[in-house]
Every structure is written in structure tokens, then in C-alpha cells.
Amino acid sequence: MAEENRTNICRLARQHQEHGTHKMNINKTCCCCGGHAYGKQWWNRDRGYSLCGLCGDWLAKKETPEEMHSNYGKRGVHWDAKLK
């Protein structure tokens, strides 16, 4: 069973890399202000939502770094990502 799970994980990782989805910045809606936000989907956010840079700066003053990471992911990857 463990070997089967490892094989499935490796297969999914290869597909992810082949399709370039590990590099994609996707247009999203800011979960705070409703504006434009860019970044990879974070598991703890509803699909299609992220955080814009302005709201991220504002929230960073109110939340700890651990809370920010848990709620929104990594800046520049999951939120406030720059378009390439």
C-alpha cells in the first residue's frame, strides 16, 4: 500500500511539472477587498481567492507571521505574486 501511494505521488508530481502548473501565477480575487490578486492556490483558501499585496501588508500588522502563513501561504508564491 505504501509503495502504491508513493508511486501515485511521484506520478502527480511529474504531471505537475510537465504542465508547468508549479510555475503558474493565476488571476484570483482578493479575499479581503475583492480586488485582483495573483498567486498559486493555497490549500487553506477557497478556490479562486488569494490576497492582494495591500491587504497582505495591512493584515501582516495584525497577525503573526505563523498566522499569515497558515491562512494565506507564502508571499510572492501564494499571494502578492508578480506576473511574469
When pLDDT is averaged across residues 45-50 and rounded to a whole number, the result is: 93
Q: How far is Cα 23 from Cα 21, in angstroms, rounded to an integer?
A: 5
Q: How far is Cα 35 from Cα 29, in angstroms, rounded to an integer?
A: 6
When pLDDT is averaged across residues 13-36 and rounded to a whole number, the result is: 70
When pLDDT is averaged across residues 38-57 and rounded to a whole number, the result is: 94
Q: What is the pTM of this model?
A: 0.68
With both helix axes pointing from N to C terminus, report the angle between 53-60 and 65-72 in degrees, rounded to the nearest 10. Answer: 140
When pLDDT is averaged across residues 34-39 and rounded to a whole number, the result is: 94
When pLDDT is averaged across residues 69-77 and rounded to a whole number, the result is: 95
Which set of grid coordinates corresponds to residue 51? 490576497
